[in-house]
A and B are shown apart, each in its own frame.
Chain A
Amino acid sequence: MEYLGIEPKKARIGVFDFTCCEGCELQLANKEDSLVDFLALVEVVNFREVSSDRGQDYDIALIEGSISREDEVERLKQIREKAKILVTLGTCACFGGVNSIKNRFDIDDVVSEVYGKNKVETLPVRKVSDIVKVDLAIPGCPVSKSEVERIVVNLVTGAAVNLPKYPVCVECKQKGNTCVVDLGEICLGPVTRAGCDAACPTGKTGCLGCRGAAEDANFDSLREILREKGHSDEAIDERLRFYNAFSEELKNEG
């Protein structure tokens, strides 16, 4: 398969899951109408959900999930050593994700709440970049297959890889949606990176911020707007903490 007479550089990929629901991986195998073309762009050497191959000679490692156990830390470091490019796939790998709720409680209480007497060894949840160098982050809960396709095409053809820098509102307005903030919801759309096609507000649910902060997002203004509409700081913070995707912004608040 050539593109403009140039043989594209087929990427040898390995897909690895850590603490997660494996939903982002499932997205990779989704969108059947272009799946054959998509798989022709890459050489899957290690991907538990679609292949029994367990190859170790991958160039690109796609990491799904957050890191919550000591053995995961070791496994991740080994993958980093082998991979030329390490990509975090999805909100858990990029930010910690929903799993990060664990970090708000005493770790022994959490373990006994979930596992009862069958104690397990566990660590506070961390995002992948807390442990190893990440070359490219693809956020989303789950990731958008269209976005993954675009990124992979750009990687193999040598084009620049970019995520939208602007917030979800752009896509939401293009959908012709009624603003859910106007309808009384807390919505993080105005501060969250676009690229999801405003899936949640289109379904009349406020954005939970799974794609993390848009560039130069105006958190102070959104907080002021939500307060004026009668939402408490606790409710706003709760929403910002949902995916742990705004930990920096919450830290910077006075």
Chain B
Amino acid sequence: MINKVITKGEFEKFISGIIDANETIGPKQVDTDRDGKPVYQFRQVKSFGEMDLDYTITYSSVKNFFLPFREELSRFDFSEKDWDQTVEYRVNPRAIIGVRPCDINALNILDKVLIGGAYPSPYYLARRRNTFLVGMDHEPLEDCFCESLGQDTVHRGFNLFCEDIGDKYYLTIMSSKAFRFLENVKVTDPTKEDDIKFHERRKRLRDMFKTKVEMTGLQSVMDIEFKSPVWKKWGDKCLNCGSCAMVCPTCYCYGIEENIDVGLKSSRKERVQYSCNLVDFAEVAGGHNFRPLKEDRLKYRYYHHYRGFAQNGDEPICVGCNRCGRACLAGINPKDVINELQLES
């Protein structure tokens, strides 16, 4: 890890160079909400000016650039008496600019699941390894609670991270690729004054968090509260629409489809992003549904995030971005659900 500083003017030059030479994805205003506030999404960009690096939060996470909603795993081509299988997971190098710490931490969690497990996913791995990731800090929103989960800062899983210290960015360089790229622009070693600004910025951001979620002892509390009326209360409101899982930066559950092309000359095996909140997630052959109740489906999503994964993966799967809470029309959000379980409210 090497720290440098770069002026915002030089930074624009640096990023523009990346955009000119690579497929680049960045935060873009795509819409305006009911109150006239901008709505942001990660989209492919062709110029620096298209991005808004001071964006609040993207409505959807960056996850689906690594785990597409629908992805071809294998293709089969049939000939007279034979068939061929094609597996294609090579991807072109690309860059994603302006990813927040919580979203990089989310990718680090997905790495554990999709690369660290017994059967690593070559599809995910190819996308992850071929993505040049430029992270960026930001002022938390009122409902961000990544700090409660210790996910408000990030220490790995990116090439370059930028902290805004006024007219300059304080850079953390995490890869030789980033170091080499930066040789094309003017960067300097941080001065004492830059270091102080860096600490001040960190402290200021930390002090801005308004939403606290009580994580202490949550795993055992969830064991005790398995039959809590909290689940029925929120389950009755749940639309089971899967919006939470679609916008979540870590929800990775999926289904596999096999689709035959119309001409019957080829077929595809595809992975499709799914959600445990959807009615037939736990339906098996013969039609039996292991989770026929809304409240159970909602409950098990929370158990996967904060209980099961926390036990197996040493940390909750949630990074506290509250995208699920914002996307949920029924107002279901981790802060209220967990704090109720913790008898905090």
Footprint of B on A, CB under 8 Å?
A: 1-5, 8, 34, 37-38, 40-41, 149-150, 153-154, 157, 159, 165-167, 169-170, 173-174, 176, 178-179, 181-184, 189-191, 214-218, 220-222, 224-225
Contacts and interface: CB of A to CB of B under 8 A. Distances in A.
A166 B239 contact: no
A160 B330 CA distance: 34
A41 B264 contact: yes
A225 B240 contact: no
A167 B245 CA distance: 13
B318 to A, nearest CB: 18
Instruction: Find the residue from A182, A214, A217 having the highest chain B CB count within 10 A.
Output: A182
A167 B240 contact: yes
Q: Which 7 A-B residue pairings sit nearest by Cβ, starting from the closest?
A: A173-B246, A169-B241, A37-B263, A166-B278, A178-B31, A3-B264, A37-B262
Contacts of A159: 260
Interface footprint category on B:
35 or more
Contact of B239 (A37, A157, A218): A218
Contacts of B242: 166-167, 169-170, 173
Nearest to A191: B239
A225 B294 contact: no
Contact of B279 (A8, A149, A181, A215): A215
A182 B33 contact: yes
A224 B83 CA distance: 54
A166 B240 contact: yes
B81 A5 contact: yes
A3 B237 CA distance: 46
B300 interface: no
17 contacts: A4-B83, A38-B262, A153-B264, A165-B278, A165-B280, A166-B240, A166-B241, A170-B242, A170-B243, A170-B275, A173-B246, A174-B69, A174-B273, A176-B59, A178-B33, A184-B34, A216-B292
Given A2-B264, A221-B238, 8 more contacts: A37-B263, A154-B260, A169-B246, A178-B33, A179-B243, A217-B239, A218-B238, A225-B330
Interface of B: 30-31, 33-34, 39, 41, 59-60, 64, 69, 78, 81, 83, 236-243, 246-247, 259-264, 273, 275, 278-280, 292, 294, 327, 329-330
A167 B41 CA distance: 23
Contacts of B237: 218, 221, 224
A253 to B, nearest CB: 16
Instruction: Find the residue from B83, B243, B294 having the highest chain A CB count within 10 A.
Output: B243
Contacts of B238: 218, 221
Nearest to A154: B260
